[in-house]
Amino acid sequence: MGEQDWRVITTGEPALTALTALADQARLRPDIHGRLGLTPGEPFVLATFHPTSFDAAPPERQVEVFLQALDGIRSAIVLTAPNPDPASALFLARYRAYADAHPRVRLHHSLGTQHYYAAMAQAQYMIGNSSSGIWESASLRLPVVDIGPRQQGRVHGNNVLHCALEPQAIAAAIARATDPALRASLDGKNPYVRPDTLALIVARIVRGTVLSLREKEFIASSRVLGNSELYTMLRHILPNCIAPLTVLATSMFGWVILAESALSFLGLGVPPPAPT
């Protein structure tokens, strides 16, 4: 982004902390197969592929190569609709036609966050170019065949197998993704997850606020008046730290709701009929 290194603080993603803790429970959702239109226990592959505007290949070529790759998959395929990017209408039309012609393919416009995570947790592997293959998949120990340049250059776990938008390269990556040795080697470590993420974010915001406040004139005036450092901190600095922390809490409130709903979905939330 052009910033100097000392200005950038790596904290991790708070929303992924809960996902890591819930990964094992998500694998125990037997009802997810019914939601996906599959028979209970049926092996399946999760496929999510979006148009890439900066790919040298035109959209027609992108979707054609991707569907050719799906031809070689013998398991059931849960295929999700593309993002509303340029050429998404073309992709969706081709997906609908492909699903109609192949009974093993289940096309879903949207699974919702909870069902999508449960599908990721129980899939054999994931194929496509979705950012979820970079962010969430490592926590769920899910092998990912990442196709094309859409996600290249991003930090990722050892579960991600990058390959070019070429049939042979994709076939080779699929062979690696289905290797039991790869699945056994995945430890669930996610480069976007830190156990102290939230504490680190709060600490850095408070520190930055304090460093800014200590240069203000009213702090200098408090010192000139002979007030102690403790008095100045309690009377002037700490109250002024409330505003940025309030903004942080508000911005994270949605993630709290999502985490709570995920717990309830997995049977770990407040039991009914108690309100949550």
Angle among Cα 261, 265, 269 to the nearest 5 degrees reads: 65
What own/partner pairs with CB < 8 Å and gap ≥ 24 does 231-237 have? 237/210, 237/213
Specify if 6 maps to a domain.
no
**Could you tell me the CATH number of the domain that includes residue 148?**
3.40.50.2000
Q: Do 177 and 209 share a domain, yes or no? A: no
Q: Do 166 and 52 share a domain, yes or no? A: yes
Contact 111, 79 (CB under 8 A): no
Specify if 49 maps to a domain.
yes
Does the N-terminal peptide bond of residue 273 adopt cis geometry, omega within 30 degrees of 0? yes
Distance (Å, rounded) from C-alpha 188 to C-alpha 138?
A: 5
Pick from 267, 212, 274: nearest CA to 244:
212
Specify if 221 maps to a domain.
yes
Q: pLDDT tens for residues 197-253?
A: 778 888 888 888 888 888 888 888 988 889 998 888 888 888 888 888 888 778 777
Place of tokens 């959702």: 29
Specify if 190 maps to a domain.
no
Q: Do 106 and 168 share a domain, yes or no? A: yes
Contact 43, 76 (CB under 8 A): yes
Q: Do 125 and 165 share a domain, yes or no? A: yes
Helix, strand, coil percentages in the chain from 3-state DSSP, rounded to 5: 55, 10, 40
Cβ neighbours of residue 124 closer than 8 Å, sequence gap 6 or more: 43, 44, 45, 75, 143, 178
Q: What is the mean pLDDT of the chain?
A: 87
Percentage above 70 pLDDT, the chain: 87
Domain count, the chain: 2
Specify if 271 maps to a domain.
no
Specify if 216 maps to a domain.
yes
Q: Do 202 and 142 share a domain, yes or no? A: no
Angle between helices 238-265 and 14-26 in degrees, nearest 10? 20
Q: Do 157 and 177 share a domain, yes or no? A: yes
Contact 147, 63 (CB under 8 A): no
Q: Do 22 and 71 share a domain, yes or no? A: yes
Instruction: Identify the domain boundary among 185, 219, 253.
Output: 185
**pLDDT score at 32:** 85
Instruction: Identify the domain boundary among 129, 162, 185.
Output: 185
C-alpha 67 chain-centroid distance? 24
Q: pLDDT tens for residues 64-86?
A: 999 999 999 999 999 999 998 89
Assign residue 152 a region: left if phi > 0, alpha if psi is -120 to 50, beta otherwise?
Answer: beta
Q: Do 161 and 222 share a domain, yes or no? A: no
Q: Which domain holds residue 162?
A: 16-185
Question: Is the pTM for the entire model greater than 0.85?
Answer: no
Helix (H) or strand (E) holding 205: helix 197-213
**pLDDT score at 268:** 47
Pick from 151, 128, 154, 152: nearest CA to 62:
128
Q: Do 30 and 144 share a domain, yes or no? A: yes
Cβ neighbours of residue 179 closer than 8 Å, sequence gap 6 or more: none
Q: Do 154 and 25 share a domain, yes or no? A: yes
Residue 45 per-residue DSSP state? E
Q: Select the more confidently predicted residue: 267 or 17.
A: 17
- The burial class, CB within 10 Å (0-12 / 13-18 / 19+), for 226 is exposed
Specify if 159 maps to a domain.
yes
Q: pLDDT tens for residues 73-132?
A: 999 999 999 998 899 999 999 999 999 999 999 999 988 877 888 899 899 999 999 999
**pLDDT score at 52:** 95
Q: Which of 82-96, 138-152, 158-172, 211-225 has the lowest mean pLDDT?
A: 211-225
Q: Do 21 and 146 share a domain, yes or no? A: yes
Instruction: Identify the domain boundary among 156, 185, 214.
Output: 185
Q: Do 49 and 107 share a domain, yes or no? A: yes
Specify if 191 maps to a domain.
no
